[in-house]
Amino acid sequence: MSVFLARELFARAALPVSCLLVAGYFLAHALFGSSGLFALEDIRAERARLLSERAELAARRADLERRIALLDPRGADPDYADELVRRHLGVIRPDEIVIPLPSAEAPAG
């Protein structure tokens, strides 16, 4: 009789034990997984780093857009174009400093 009782007990406990194992698996991942509760501080630090990097890239992009606008074929800034041509052709020496002069349209001040 004890074998029959053990089989019946095992059959009755199989479903609840399986559910507890599955719930434990998901709970462990919710706590210790790569995006779990204990990784939350690392995620926040990574987010802050990425936001800072995004701000730096936005500033760099704005600078590049400004430089591109200076080279617009409809009205290129002659001083900036001259500086680029001299630098890329190797006519500017390493000890030479390029001093931009105010344009004729800008008021002196």
Query: For the segment 8-38, what is each residue's pLDDT rounded down to a tens digit?
Result: 888 888 899 999 999 999 999 888 888 888 8
- Cβ density class 65-74: b for 16+ within 10 Å, e for less: eeeeebeeee
Low-confidence ranges of the chain (pLDDT < 50): 106, 108-109
Q: Where are the domains of the chain?
A: 49-94
CA 62 vs. chain centroid, Å, equals 17
- Structure-token pair, residue 83: 């500086």
Give residue 109's pLDDT.
Answer: 43
> CA 59 to CA 43: how far, in whole Å?
24
Contact 92, 98 (CB under 8 A): yes
Give residue 21's pLDDT.
Answer: 94
Give the chain's end-to-end CA distance (angstroms, integer).
106
> CA 75 to CA 106: how far, in whole Å?
15
Give residue 103's pLDDT.
Answer: 64
